[in-house]
A and B are shown apart, each in its own frame.
Chain A
């Protein structure tokens, strides 16, 4: 069965410092992997998507993620946090059966000035 684990439920950074949100996945096949962001009281927005092309994926707003098969990880990074990055972030893996997406429990990113 596929699963995804977000290793931190809450991450706090200062504005201008790097962001690292950690995600490990479990899958018996080569999955598609996504990061979505949800700002308070908003819907989910796709940040980036990995589908077995380049292992380093660039997304919107300066975010990127690196697929590491040997470590079964798909960590999200950004070189310099901005106040507007404060939100909840979800790591998502595709399900082999049907069209389901399997969501991690989310990481809340706080950014202080």
Chain B
């Protein structure tokens, strides 16, 4: 298994509070990703990072921000949590990302279950 940990694994919070989820990798991979998983939607990309301090938005980025100050850590922040952000959040990593020739494999962490009341 790829060395990816997520913390916390479970969190219950109230509407309007800030929440930060952490993804930590020991593989020294350049690319890191945050997805959310909701029933009937599969996984959807929130944000991704292609290097330290280099990030970009995904399909469902509204209400989320990210930061990457070290290669091994990628933080996802909900500035003011809403009930629509109740979900399971997965971090993923990959070594090379996508080129015109192929797409590098992404490896996923164990997930964080977030409940916003």
A residues in contact (CB < 8 Å) with B: 31-32, 34, 36, 42-46, 49, 51-52, 90, 94-95, 98-101, 103-106
Q: Give the chain B neighbours of A43 by CB distance below 8 A.
A: 90, 108-111
Which of B66-117 touch A at CB < 8 Å?
Answer: 90, 94, 97-98, 102-111
- B43 and A90: CB pair below 8 A? yes
| Cα distance, A36 to B41, chains bound together (Å) | 15
Say which residue of B40, B97, B105, B110 sits within 8 Å of A34 (CB atoms).
Answer: B105
| Cα distance, A45 to B110, chains bound together (Å) | 10
| Cα distance, A43 to B109, chains bound together (Å) | 6
Residue from A36, A45, A101 with most neighbouring chain B CB atoms (10 Å): A101
Known contacts A94-B98, A99-B94, A106 near B42 by CB under 8 Å? yes
